[in-house]
Structure 1
Amino acid sequence: MKNLILNTDSYKTSHYVQYPLGTEFVSSYIESRGGVYANTIVFGLQAFIKAYLSKSVTKEDIDEAEIVLTAHGVPFNRDGWEYILSAYDGYLPLEIQAVPEGTLLPTNNVMVQVKNTDPKCAWLTSYIETALLRAIWYPTTVATVSKSCKAIIKRYMEETADSTDGLAFKLHDFGARGASSEESSALGAAAHLVNFMGTDTVSGLLAAKRYYGADMAGFSIPAAEHSTITSWGKPNESAAYKNMLKQFGGKDKLLAVVSDSYNLWNAIDNIWGEELIEDVKNMEGTLVVRPDSGDPVEIVSETIERLMAKFGSRYNSKGYRVLPDCIRVIQGDGVNLESIAAILEALKIRKISAENIAFGMGGELLQKVNRDTQKFAMKASAIQINGKWQDVYKDPITDPGKRSKRGRLALIKNANNNFLTIREDELGAMNNELITVYRNGDLLKEWSFEEIRELAEQQS
């Protein structure tokens, strides 16, 4: 699965003979043409470069590709790939420009631009589209969803909490098992960690470390699941809870316990709120109660109200109620952008502070996105034939939204500090926000995970 030659669409293999005679260079770009969100957090290109473009194509790769594609019934450009192997040691003769990762970029702007660096490889620019576009749209879309959730949570914390302390841990990634592959979960989880620091997706930690140098990008806590609670049997539910406190409780420690295996209200009112209340109060840490079924808005509100009835509450400086430090709630079922907003609004109406609740988000974070969420596309915009550049574009009368950009492109910030895509030949003395990050096998610009986080945090 790591043969880069085969990391493409079948029809791409026939394109090397479809360009006009004399074609020397092809320039293409990637953009979000719109979609659900007006801005995107750009992320993922460096991971793709390190994982795929920093490794050379080998003779074995070429041999395998020829066998597979010939049997598949499509042409194979063996001469082209053997030229890359001999002239560039198997590294792709491409130049890639991109905005810094972590940039909050308005839609309809160029975020990546790629062209071949060798006139004998003009076919290569579009050949890489499948792999490159996928490497951009997925982590960028996940980072964008995560960023949008963060904006909502932050707004409610600013309105109902004394501070936004702890915001980085208010949305926890529960999405590993719902992702389509281990690589998807790794890239998506790393994208989420651009905005937050809570995750249960271990592969995301490895991606952040391997591709962006993060020693430890995210954190978690001991937590129960239904099997560990129900294995004790219904009559011993309280013993299962008490065991969690014994195993993981203590000064400044946090632990999460799913509490709806049988009867959530009994667990809150009688077990946590009566039988084990002194254990919780005296452990000097924090128990996080997790309801896991029912309507999220109703269940979260009722859960916190019942916990307050048993454990008490205080009013913060903004007049909203807060549970004691020993007890909090995490909602991990039915969580998405809309339900987060609805839950926090319901709590606000009840004069309950957003600091009482954290969220766990699974499939909605890592899996329920697609290329059309932000209408991502990679299109050729310029071609050089016999030494002369000319525009390449599409302009379908049946769908103006698919009209593509023309010419070699640049990205600038205008007088109002807003991003604007222009033609490269109009750049003049203006600064191009696109930075050359890759050329002929070399990673020319590397961003640390911390730098990406800082850039993402600076933008709203």
Structure 2
Amino acid sequence: MASSITENLLLVTDSYKVTHHLQYPPNTTAVYSYFESRGGKFPCTVFFGLQYIIKRWLTGQVVTKEKIKEAKEVYHLHFSNDYFNEDGWNYILEHHNGCLPVRIRAVPEGSVIPFKNVLFTVENTDPKCFWLTNYLETLLVQAWYPMTVATNSRYQKEIIAKYLHETADNLDSLPFKLHDFGFRGSTSVESAGIGGAGHLVNFKGTDTIAAICAARKFYACNIAGFSIPAAEHSTITTWGREGEREAFSNMLNNFPSGAVSIVSDSYDIWNACENVLGQQLKSLIENRNGTLVVRPDSGEPAEVVVKVLNILGEKFGCTKNSKGYKMLPSFLRIIQGDGISYESLAVILESMKKQGWSVENIVFGSGGALLQRMDRDTQKCAYKCSYALINGKEVNVYKQPVTDLGKKSKKGRLTLEYSDGQYKTVEEGKGDPKKDVFVTVFENGKLLKDYTFDEVRANAEIDLLKTA
């Protein structure tokens, strides 16, 4: 017996698609569909995550007698009827050795593409399997998630880079400026892995172990992200309110070198910064071989960050960098990990800048807003049929709902062309293959292009770093 939905591709679709093989026009032999971001929150999308889906679900023999038997049983119970396309799946097993007769062409992973452009196309390679193209829609559209996380993360990188460029001597610290705290807030270990990997396309800081495992397994990256020893409230508050000094010194002594983070708002963040850290443990901090990262974790972020910086600056002293902005000593930094999102970052950074503080002094941590506060409509992702072959006749397929022209779909076979620094989707088979940026990544059960994480990162790099 197959191991149910977690392994059986035949069960990874929407219910109604099981009946669609009976709904296409007679003598349909080809169905060609595409995936795009129709619009959304961000004007461009970072294309990432299709390779994970292909490797996880589509490569090799994915159809077996056991999986067909299991799917037949499940769908019979589900519909109280035999709508399941048992003959179609048996044909794939017998004539293609259980490999999918499908071709997928896509933009290179990590590409930054303006919305309203095609991102990948799917078509059957066996005329008897025309129904398969859109049977796979449910699974393939889930690329929206890692793609949207990577997009959201990249736009935050641009914000941080802008302020870092304005207030710091260099951009060297940028890869570690936004740390992933999102594992516990994710809907599953799998979503944390693929979403967290989307964040690591842009940054190198994470506490989401599943993300570095995903990048390691599916994108040939030995280690994609890094972290440091850090306290949580339980490791501070178990010492009691009167034992906060001992809790802090325990952290500093047990981790005598390198960076270490101490959450400091368990009781009174101002007292912790001014008296405990700024007086009682000052000598220990100054003489330690590494950097203490102070973590406030409550209150209004823009206000708290500046006040913490001011207190630490008064207690430990500060200098000014080449651009005239204040810097804490190199052994002292802060991390703001509460309330961090695309919307809040600029507010905090602008507040720091106005108060004369360099962005070099801070790193950020983000959880729910980084990995969860989004859905398929954030970038309006959709998968639509645009071409079919019926009775030997080519048909340009499209929808154009009078109630929402924003959902008008593209017609015919598509190419994504790049010319003069611009991307353009050309419809109805009228494109120039020489300008087409698409790559055939999957065909008839085989992965044809295997992107490394380094390649993805290079494709997704922000312009400020590409020109630096």
State the TM-score bracket (shorter-chain normalisation): over 0.9
| 1:173 to 2:180 alignment | yes
Instruction: Write the deviation string for residues 32-68 of structure 1: whole angstroms up to 9, x where unpaired.
Output: 0000000000000111111100142221111111111
Structure 1 position 231 matched with structure 2 position 235: no
Rate the CA distance shift 1:244–1:429 in 2: closer, same or farther, 3 A.
closer
Aligned equivalents of 2:430, 2:98: Cα separation in 1: 35
- Are residues 1:63 and 2:69 paired? yes
Trace 1:233-382 onto structure 2 (pairs within 5 A).
Answer: 233-250=240-257, 253-382=258-387
Shift of 1:91: 1.4
In the alignment, what sits opposite 2:453?
449
> Shift of residue 117 of structure 1?
0.5
Question: Helix, strand or coil: the match of 2:434?
Answer: coil
Partner of residue 425, structure 2: 421
Q: Deviations over 1:244-279 (max 9, x none)?
A: 0011122xx000010001111110011000000110
Percent sequence identity over aligned pairs: 52
Q: Is the CA contact (8 Å cut-off) linking 2:414 and 2:431 kept in structure 1? A: no
Q: What secondary structure sits across from 2:435 in the alignment?
A: coil
Give 1:11-410 correspondences, 5 Å limit. 11-55=16-60, 56-73=62-79, 75-134=83-142, 136-250=143-257, 253-410=258-415
Partner AA of 1:329 in structure 2 = I
TM-score by length of structure 1 reads 0.98
Shift in Å, 1:417: 1.7
- Residue number in structure 1 paired with 2:417: 412
Cα offset for 1:304?
Answer: 0.8
Relative to 1, partners in 2 of residues 1:93 and 1:459: Cα closer, same or farther, differing over 3 Å?
farther
Please state how far the C-alpha of 1:284 moved relative to its aligned partner: 2.1
C-alpha distance in 2 between matches for 1:330 and 1:459: 26
Is contact 1:410–1:424 with CA below 8 Å preserved after alignment?
no
Matched residues in 1 for 2:320 and 2:78: separation?
69
Is the counterpart of residue 7 in structure 1 residue 12 in structure 2? yes
Tell me: CA distance 1:198–1:373, structure 2 relative to 1, closer, same or farther (3 Å): same
For residues 111 and 310 of structure 2, the distance between their equivalents in structure 1, rounded to whole angstroms, comes to 40
User: Conserved in 1, the CA contact under 8 Å of 2:387 and 2:397?
Assistant: yes
Q: Distance in 1 between matches of 2:226 and 2:114?
A: 30
CA contact under 8 A between 1:344 and 1:354: conserved in structure 2? yes
Question: How far is the alpha carbon of 1:458 from its aligned partner?
Answer: 5.6
Contact 1:104-1:459 at 8 Å conserved across structures: no
What amino acid is aligned across from residue 21 of structure 1 in structure 2?
A: P
In the aligned structure 1, how far is the partner of 2:459 from the partner of 2:78? 45
One-letter code aligned to 2:28: T
Worse overlay, 418-427 or 430-439: 418-427
3-state SS of the aligned residue for 2:461? helix
Give the 3 Å change call, closer, same or farther, for CA 216–380 of structure 1 in structure 2: same
SS at match of 2:345: helix
1:199-229 superposed Cα distances (whole Å, 9 cap, x missing partner) = 0000001100100000000000000000111
CA distance, structure 2, for counterparts of residue 249 and residue 432 of structure 1: 55
| 8 Å Cα contact 1:409-1:421 kept in structure 2 | yes
Could you tell me how far apart the structure 1 residues matched to 2:198 and 2:32 are? 27
Deviation at 1:430, TM superposition (A): 3.0
Q: Give the whole-Å Cα distance in 1 for the aligned partners of 2:287 and 2:306.
A: 25
CA displacement at 1:413 relative to structure 2 = 1.1
CA distances 1:397-440 after superposition (whole Å, capped 9, x unpaired): 100000000001001013x2200000363224532111100001
Letter in 1 for 2:117: N
How far residue 146 of structure 1 moved from its aligned partner, in angstroms, is: 0.3
In the aligned structure 2, how far is the partner of 1:32 from the partner of 1:171?
A: 25
Contact 2:413 2:428 in 1 (8 A): yes
Counterpart code for 2:219: Y
Q: Letter of the 2:435 partner, please give it.
A: N
d(CA) in 1 for partners of 2:434, 2:221: 33
Aligned partner letter, 2:123: K
Matched pairs, number: 456
Instruction: Supply the distance in 1 between the matched residues of 2:96 and 2:236 (Cα, whole angstroms).
Output: 58
Question: CA distance change for structure 1 residues 25 and 47 in 2, over 3 Å: closer, same or farther?
Answer: same
